[in-house]
Amino acid sequence: MFNIGFSEMMVIGIIALIVVGPDKLPELARTVGKWVGAARRIFADVRAEVDQQVMMDDIIKHNRAIMEMDAIPPEKKPEHDPAGKAQAPEDGPVQDASTGADDLEAERPAAVRQPTTKPAPDRIH
């Protein structure tokens, strides 16, 4: 908490022993310990209160975002697909890969086109 090492504690203990004396040093140590414990409890309570308030603020922001999403008309909401499939863009439907291939084949030059019928198998006699 105060980042005090062992050497600093020894210096403070020696000074306290000289100033207070050996008779009252244990009583002083108990009093200081009580005050430090009380300060730690207060700091822990304040930290817990701040953490709780920050968590509540995050929950409130999240709830507001959900409420705003519910207030958006259905035609303006982004489409949600839990299965992970592609959604249709707003300018037209998504073409299936099998139907799109026919359209692409028709656009190719005749020299590049794939034959539409299978050639007859060669017969070996």
- Cα 42 to Cα 36: distance, rounded to the nearest angstrom: 10
Helices (H), the chain: 6-20, 25-71, 97-107
0.85 surpassed by pTM: no
* Look-up of token digits 């504690």: 9
Token pair in block for residue 59:
């929950």
Measured distance CA(71)–CA(29) in Å, rounded: 63
pLDDT tens, residue order, the chain (125 aa): 567 888 998 998 899 889 989 899 999 989 999 999 999 999 999 999 999 999 999 999 998 888 888 776 666 655 655 555 555 555 555 555 555 555 555 555 555 555 566 666 666 65
